[in-house]
A and B are shown apart, each in its own frame.
Chain A
């Protein structure tokens, strides 16, 4: 058992999988440069000690590197390709959306794509092009599994599960949860470290978890929003409102069973997601829950999300953009009706 941050837990997952399986390799920008940082958030630091040739630094060519990773995956290798910021997935979008997501389907199921993609998300004072939460964008592209770890335990377990999966898996990681240290640390970071067991484990893709039990209202959120939901639940408890916090951990496939069970109990739902409200994760979850469980609901579902704007730079405006504990509490109170 050892206490680890998310950055450390991801690094351990990569290290162990690279040792366990020679087909696993990392590919990305600045990930294994001598004297460098091990990627933008230190995740791949030192992995070249496992196998120099399996930590591949590329030029700044996202579309190219994701295509290269796809080619290798089709041939049976197990690449872990990353972008330094999730926003650059848009640079790789042709390969990701037109090829990675579709080639198995187009082959009539003859081809496997055991490819993992990693992308940091979240607004962190860097302006509009280093800030987007792209989870909802990728929900609209069938063929890619999506995981969103909020804790170091889940980060390690989900990354291992993703590497062992025969389908493309996209992992979103939140910059404020990495626990990066020293020169790479982030202001406003939230502690997401966990005790990590010594033995090998995976967290199944598609399995959510109840983070806190409650009776009056269900709050669902991933990544940073899961932590804010827990803080909101603490505050609501002081007001006599018992909130249940659900962390789906995966968005594709989604653990509807777990969420439905919770909503059946509480009859109220608040969905929290960083990113524009329109067409967001909240929209999808709210639509599905109302489709399936209208009769159980005693109040309209509330979505807490960002306004439909690019991410502004100034902290004053960025804080307005990012959902916060106040707004989550407000939404929960609204479902209860005071």
Chain B
């Protein structure tokens, strides 16, 4: 497949936006100005960007405890996210969610679910609603490689399968669940082999190749929308930052990390765009500058935004 320069640059911009957002947030966090804890997705950008590029308005994703990339890819503004990270009243969850619950249903993302595996049945249920309401919409469930070992994953995927629901299950397989290597938690070599147990298609792909992710997701989403039921996509990637906060990643072998940096999705895609003449270096540089400015604006406005009132905590419990 060949893609237009416009489409390719849009994918590139999203990936850079995620990377720079995460880097800026990491810095703010280490500075101590940002509360809470964070799980970041540097190195994994191609998965949510490729998947969400295959979605239409009205489709809904569920995210994980590592949701920043998923949220940006789905189309949340970095401003609404930055405000949320600072716990501000006008953040995307009004300061009630924070990093681990980033999301905005109006923009097609449920507030992220920080209970590993918890999102799988929920995404299945969202797809059930689409089916019952006869709406041509698709649900996409992001999970980590660790998430596939929760009972909720099994129960949720199985129901999606038996009812042929319009849902796609995407494993952001970064080879580790916190510090635990996937090889120590699953006996299969390929997580997509799990799909056979549910009777649905499954595929393992290079999750650092944004176009490969896009193509696979596009096929799966189209099948789901057309009534063909769920697909399990195992997108293999790598987390080139800590699991959370100041994790030094001593459990990642040095060699493996070095090699992973070679396969890092953004530079790889840049090289491809340049080689195929789909972009000039000047265009890429311009994207980086524009992205940095967008993030800086978000930081400034987040710092200046009003805090919630303490009593606001009492609102929103019931409808």
Interface set of A (CB-CB < 8 Å, partner B): 29-30, 33-37, 57-64, 87-88, 90-91, 125-130, 182-183, 187, 307-310, 312-321
Q: Of residues 263 to 319 in B, which have CB atoms within 8 Å of A's CB atoms? A: 307-314, 317
Scoring B residues 126 to 141 as 1 if CB is less than 8 Å from chain A, else 0, what string do you get? 0000000000000000
Expressed in whole angstroms, the Cα–Cα distance for A90 and B37 within the complex equals 21
B314 to chain A, nearest CB (A): 6
The reply to whether A125 and B35 form a contact with Cβ atoms under 8 Å apart is: yes
Partner of A316, one of B98, B150, B249, B310: B310
Ordered by A's residue number, 29 sampled pairs between the chains whose C-beta atoms are within 8 Å are A29-B178, A33-B184, A33-B251, A35-B251, A36-B179, A57-B180, A59-B149, A59-B180, A60-B149, A61-B150, A91-B150, A91-B151, A125-B36, A126-B36, A126-B98, A127-B96, A127-B97, A130-B114, A187-B35, A309-B314, A310-B317, A312-B313, A313-B87, A314-B95, A314-B307, A314-B308, A316-B309, A319-B310, A321-B313
Which secondary structure dominates chain B's binding surface?
loop
Expressed in whole angstroms, the Cα–Cα distance for A88 and B246 within the complex equals 23
The reply to whether A317 and B251 form a contact with Cβ atoms under 8 Å apart is: no
Closest to A88 in B: B115
The reply to whether B177 and A317 form a contact with Cβ atoms under 8 Å apart is: no
The reply to whether B245 and A127 form a contact with Cβ atoms under 8 Å apart is: no
Expressed in whole angstroms, the Cα–Cα distance for A307 and B314 within the complex equals 8
B60 to chain A, nearest CB (A): 20
Expressed in whole angstroms, the Cα–Cα distance for A317 and B308 within the complex equals 7
**Which of B84, B147, B150 has the largest count of A CB atoms less than 10 A from its CB?**
B150
The reply to whether A130 and B151 form a contact with Cβ atoms under 8 Å apart is: no
For the A-B complex with A313-B96, A317-B313 known, give 5 more contacts whose Cβ atoms are closer than 8 Å. A63-B151, A129-B114, A314-B89, A317-B87, A317-B310
The reply to whether B179 and A37 form a contact with Cβ atoms under 8 Å apart is: yes
Is the CB of B100 closer than 8 A to any CB of chain A?
Answer: yes
Partner of B146, one of A36, A59, A87, A315: A59
Is the CB of B248 closer than 8 A to any CB of chain A?
Answer: yes
The reply to whether A309 and B313 form a contact with Cβ atoms under 8 Å apart is: yes
Closest to B250 in A: A35
State whether A127 and B150 are in contact (beta carbons under 8 Å apart), knowing that A34-B251, A308-B317 are contacts in the complex.
Answer: no
CB-defined contacts of B307 to chain A, threshold 8 Å = 314, 316
**Which of A34, A57, A128, A317 has the largest count of B CB atoms less than 10 A from its CB?**
A317
The reply to whether A314 and B100 form a contact with Cβ atoms under 8 Å apart is: no
Partner of B150, one of A33, A60, A307: A60
The reply to whether B180 and A315 form a contact with Cβ atoms under 8 Å apart is: no
Closest to A315 in B: B35
Closest to A183 in B: B246
B188 to chain A, nearest CB (A): 12
The reply to whether B185 and A127 form a contact with Cβ atoms under 8 Å apart is: no
Scoring B residues 84 to 98 as 1 if CB is less than 8 Å from chain A, else 0, what string do you get? 100111000101111
Closest to A308 in B: B317
**Which of A57, A127, A308, A320 has the largest count of B CB atoms less than 10 A from its CB?**
A127
Expressed in whole angstroms, the Cα–Cα distance for A316 and B117 within the complex equals 30
CB-defined contacts of B98 to chain A, threshold 8 Å = 125-127, 313-314
CB-defined contacts of A182 to chain B, threshold 8 Å = 246
Expressed in whole angstroms, the Cα–Cα distance for A31 and B36 within the complex equals 22
Expressed in whole angstroms, the Cα–Cα distance for A60 and B311 within the complex equals 36
Is the CB of B219 closer than 8 A to any CB of chain A?
Answer: no
Expressed in whole angstroms, the Cα–Cα distance for A196 and B246 within the complex equals 30
A66 to chain B, nearest CB (A): 12
The reply to whether B100 and A87 form a contact with Cβ atoms under 8 Å apart is: no
State whether A125 and B37 are in contact (beta carbons under 8 Å apart), knowing that A316-B307, A319-B310 are contacts in the complex.
Answer: yes
Expressed in whole angstroms, the Cα–Cα distance for A309 and B180 within the complex equals 34
CB-defined contacts of A320 to chain B, threshold 8 Å = 310-311, 313
Is the CB of B8 closer than 8 A to any CB of chain A?
Answer: no
Expressed in whole angstroms, the Cα–Cα distance for A240 and B265 within the complex equals 66
B44 to chain A, nearest CB (A): 18
CB-defined contacts of B96 to chain A, threshold 8 Å = 127-128, 312-314, 317
The reply to whether B100 and A130 form a contact with Cβ atoms under 8 Å apart is: yes
Is the CB of B233 closer than 8 A to any CB of chain A?
Answer: no
Expressed in whole angstroms, the Cα–Cα distance for A61 and B311 within the complex equals 37
Is the CB of B167 closer than 8 A to any CB of chain A?
Answer: no
